Amino acid sequence: MHLIVGLGNPGAEYEWSRHNLGFMLIDRLAREAGAAVTRRECQSLVGSASLENRRVRLAKPQTYMNLSGEAVRCLMNKLAARDADSSLIVISDDLALPFGMIRLRARGSAGGHNGLRSIISSLGTNEFVRLRIGIQPEHPLSDTKRYVLDELPRSQRRELDGVLERAESAVRCILTKGIAKAMSLYNQSAVSSEE
């Protein structure tokens, strides 16, 4: 069984923040599967779903970003997973990617993301699949923390459904065809508003 974790921060004030794209994609996956991510377990909201005829667990850690690893480690232990890279998919935002671009990786560093850093530290490995969604600013930042916690502007909210739809398709591809095939299909340029 795959554990699919979307990273974000709990609380209504963060609902539309750039840092909550992971939560947004989990909500979309749950909605499309007719599932609810509402059960409290391991400092997370968790739900079971069927995606592409596969049972998955969807999770939104409620620990705040910097402590996401505590929740993920607990969930992984409960699933008794033998190796993280075949059973864990983590969804996060990424400041280094233009808005609308998604990037899949089978493993890798945290890339400056505090949630990924926490998960790598807690699991003791970077061998897990990650799907990153770009939030790169169009200008240099003086306050990165404020930027990621700010709400998406209206112009990007109009594009958000298309971005999340593409990311959802990528997750489904990982489940059916594996990470290598999904990377070849989805690690491309940003989604344009014309698509």
Q: Which residues contact 143 (CB under 8 A, 6 or more apart)?
A: none
Which candidate, 28, 23, 149, places its Cα nearest to that of 92?
23
2 is catalytic: no
For residues 109 and 103, give the distance between their C-alpha atoms in angstroms, rounded to a whole number. 13
Q: Classify each residue of 142-168 as buried b or exposed e, where b means 16 or more C-beta atoms within 10 Å of its C-beta.
A: eeeeebbbeebeeebeebbeebbebbb
Q: Which candidate in 2, 19, 113, 139 is catalytic?
A: 19
Instruction: Catalogue the active-site residues.
Output: 19
